[in-house]
Amino acid sequence: MSNRESAVPRGRLARLARFSALAGGIAGRAAVQGARQWATGTKPDAATLLLTPANIGRITDELARLRGAAMKMGQLVSMDSGEFLPPELGQIMARLREDAQAMPPKQLKSVLDRNWGPGWLAKFERFDVRPIAAASIGQVHRARLKDGRDLAIKVQYPGVRASIDSDVDNVGSLMRLSGLVPAHVDVASLLGEAKRQLHEEADYLREADSLAAFGRLLAHAPEFRVPGLEAGLTTVDVLAMEFLPGQPIEALATADQALRDRVMTAMMALVLRELFEFRLMQTDPNFANYRWNAETGRIVLLDFGATRIVPQPVADAYRRLMQAGLAGDRCEAMAAALSIGLFGADTDAVSQGRVIDMFQTAFAPIAAGDVFDFSTTDVAARLREDGLALAQDRSFWHLPPADTLFLQRKFGGLFLLGSRLKARVDVRALMLPWANAQARGAF
C-alpha cells in the first residue's frame, strides 16, 4: 500500500468540486496543446490530446485521493486481464490497484467513535493505528483483544456510501470526456450496475454474511482457510474478523514447482465449485485477496465484499461454453458465448468470429488433454495480442451483462495468477466432472 496519508473528501459538493477541477484542468491543457498543433499545421487528435501521460497521472492521482466509489469505479471497468480495454485505461487501472492512500489517525478515530462509541480502545490490548492495507472503500488495521485474540479490523472511509451514486456518475462523465469509451457505447447499464455493486460492497454487514457463508462452505476444505467473523464488533462501517497470518500469494513464484502447481490447482478447482456448486462467487480477482500460510499449508481467502450469487441460467450457459470448448465445437461455442453476452446479436460476424477464435485459442491445449503450463504456453501472449486488436477496433466495443462482466474479471485474474506462478495444471481433469454433471441446486 502507499505510505501516503490524506483525508477522504466528504460531502457531495466537495467531491464534485474535485471532479470539476480535474475535468477542467484536463480539458484546458488539451485545448492549449491542440492550439499549438494547429499552429504547426498538424490536425490534433482529441484522444491523443486528452490521454497524455501527464493527464493519465492526474486522473489516477485524483481518483486515488477521493477513494470510495470514485476509485472503485475505475477498477470495476477493468477486466483485469486487460484484453478488452485500451492501454491508456489499463495504465489507470493498474495504478489504482496499487495506490490507495490511508486515512489520517484523527479521521480514523472519528469513524470508530461513531461506530463503537467513546472509550472503545479499552476493549483492546493493542490497536495499530497504521493500517496493514488500504484499498478503495476502506483500510485494514491489526488489533488484539484483551483476551489475546488477534483481529483484522476493516474500517470504511467516511462518506463512501453517501457519495456512491454521484461519484459513479462523475466517473462516467470523466470517461466520456476523456474519450476512453466510444460515443456509440451505452455505459448506462454498466454505471447502474456499478452503483448497485458498490452499495453492496459498502455494506459491511452484507460482507460479514458472505464471509460467514464461505466459512461454512469451505469448513472441511483442507486447502483453504477463511477468517472467523467477530460479529460483536462488526457494523455497517466496520468489519471485524480473525487475523490470519500469511504471505502474498504471488510470493510463491519462487517456490518449488510442485507447490505452485498444487496452489494453482486448488484455486482453479475453487472457482469451478463457486460457479457450478455454490453458485456463489467472490468476484474480485485482486491478488491481495489471497494469502499463503506456509505453516499450515493453506490458502487464506480474504475480502468477500464483491461476492455475487450466480444465477442458474448463467451457470448453465458457462457449462455449455465449457462443454463446447472441451469438444472443440465452434458452433455450440458461438451459441453459448452469445447467451452469456460475450458479444451481442448485432455484433458483426467477423467480430463474433474473432471472439470465438480467442476462446478456441485458450481451450486448444485443454481440449487436447495436455497439462496447461502457464510458464511455456504462448496462449497468454496470443490472447493479449488478439484482445488488444479487438480493443483498438472501437466499432466492436461491447459491454457484457453485469454477471458476465464480473465473472470474466475473476477468470481473467485467475489466469494472471497462474501466469505469475508459472504453474502447471491439469485443467481438463478439473473441468470434466463439471462439464458432465447435471445442474445442482443453488447455495
Catalytic residues: 284
Q: Which amino acid is at 245?
A: P
Query: For residue 394, what is its C-alpha cell?
Result: 472501437
Is there a contact between 272 and 282 (Cβ–Cβ < 8 Å)?
Answer: no
Query: Phi-psi category of 244—alpha, beta or left, where left has phi over 0 and alpha has psi -120 to 50?
Result: beta
424 forms beta bridges with 373
Nearest by Cα to 102 from 70, 127, 67: 67
Return the axis-axis angle of helices 402-421 and 257-272, rounded to nearest 10°. Answer: 170
165 forms beta bridges with none
Is there a contact between 258 and 421 (Cβ–Cβ < 8 Å)?
Answer: no
Nearest by Cα to 97 from 52, 134, 130: 134
- Read off φ and ψ for residue 368, nearest 5 degrees: -75, -10
Rounded CA separation 414/408 (Å) = 10
Is there a contact between 227 and 243 (Cβ–Cβ < 8 Å)?
Answer: yes
How many Å separate Cα 308 from the centre of its chain? Answer: 13
Nearest by Cα to 59 from 108, 94, 83: 94
Distant-in-sequence, close-in-space partners of 192: CB < 8 Å, separation ≥ 6: none
**315: burial class by Cβ within 10 Å (0-12, 13-18, 19+)?**
buried
Distant-in-sequence, close-in-space partners of 21: CB < 8 Å, separation ≥ 6: none
Query: For residue 299, what is its C-alpha cell?
Result: 490458502
Rounded CA separation 6/303 (Å) = 23
Nearest by Cα to 360 from 390, 344, 343, 337: 337
Is there a contact between 65 and 396 (Cβ–Cβ < 8 Å)?
Answer: no
Query: For residue 266, what is its C-alpha cell?
Result: 486448488
Q: Which amino acid is at 75?
A: Q
User: What is the bridge-based pairing of β-strands 224-225 and 298-301?
Assistant: parallel
Distant-in-sequence, close-in-space partners of 162: CB < 8 Å, separation ≥ 6: 12
